[in-house]
Amino acid sequence: MSPTVLITGASKGIGLAAAESILADGAEVIALQRTVTPALEALSAKYPGTLKIVKGDHRTFSSSAKDVSSAIALADTLDGVVLNAALNLPYGAIATIPLDGYRGIFEVNLFSVVQFLQLALPKLRKVKGKVILVSSAAGEYGMKGIGAYAASKAALTQLNRTLAVEESDITTIAFNPGAVRTEFAASVEREGKGHVDPALVDPFISSLIEPDIPGRGIRNLVLHAEVDYTGKYLSYDDPLVTSL
């Protein structure tokens, strides 16, 4: 039986690339996102029957439990989840960013992930499944203007470590996709002006990689990583990722 992987935020960017790579490897994918893009519809046409699309909002407590449960229910067995959806706005310094901005980012990037895991863990435990938490190198450093996003990703990486020691029946990995040509990168150029250090923006933009590169890394981990990977924080170009 082909493995089944549930991906959040699969309508574009890294999530869409990961979904396509996982499908190409012969697995089935359940895609949960707020909007269904033409690119996701085209992928569904390319893989009829093996890509199931669920339109729903998994990012806020007020509505996500029902949507997540509906997506999970589509899987007879749940072999892996890729928690990819994230929010990076607003930008701003600690001294000036509205507190609701911090709350909103943590709601999406951390709290909704915890709720998702609470709903998915029963099925994941049954098959010793895998959890891939899409984190960021931003969580490793102090960078002006994106502190809320960076703090949420640092917290997500720590959540991965805690999950690894609490849930011995699953394999959980935090994944750094690198600097990727996505809407996030475009927003750094647009909304980041005046907040993010220009000395950081130009090298970031010039080093962007295409989404299919981290997409393949996510595929490798969610389909092929062994249990000794659990608790690790791995970058897309790490040999532990690329060699799988």
Q: In CATH, what number is assigned to the domain containing residue 9?
A: 3.40.50.720
Identify whether the C-beta of residue 92 lies closer than 8 Å to the C-beta of residue 45. Answer: no
User: Phi first, then psi: what are they for 28, rounded to 5°?
Assistant: -100, 150
Percent of the chain with pLDDT strictly greater than 70: 97
Residue 83 is part of which domain span? 4-238
Q: Which of 19, 38, 41 is nearest to 28 (CA)?
A: 19
Give the model's pLDDT for residue 1. Answer: 84
Q: Which of 50, 56, 15 is nearest to 32 (CA)?
A: 56
Residue 244 falls inside a structural domain: no
Residue 119 falls inside a structural domain: yes
Query: Which is it for strands 80-83 and 4-8: parallel, antiparallel or unpaired?
Result: parallel
Give the model's pLDDT for residue 172. Answer: 98
Which SS3 state, helix, strand or coil, does residue 55 take? strand
C-alpha dist (Å) from residue 167 to 94, 100, 174: 34, 32, 15
More confident: 145 or 38: 38
Residue 243 falls inside a structural domain: no
Residue 88 falls inside a structural domain: yes
Q: What is the spatial distance between Cα 94 and Cα 137, in angstroms, rounded to a whole number?
A: 19
C-alpha dist (Å) from residue 58 to 43, 45, 181: 21, 24, 24
Residue 210 falls inside a structural domain: yes
Counting the structural domains of the chain, the total is: 1
DSSP annotation of 180: B
- How many residues comprise the chain? 244
Q: What is the spatial distance between Cα 184 and Cα 126, in angstroms, rounded to a whole number?
A: 35
Q: How confident is the model at residue 63 (pLDDT cuts 50, 70, 90)?
A: low
pTM, entire model: 0.95
Residue 102 falls inside a structural domain: yes
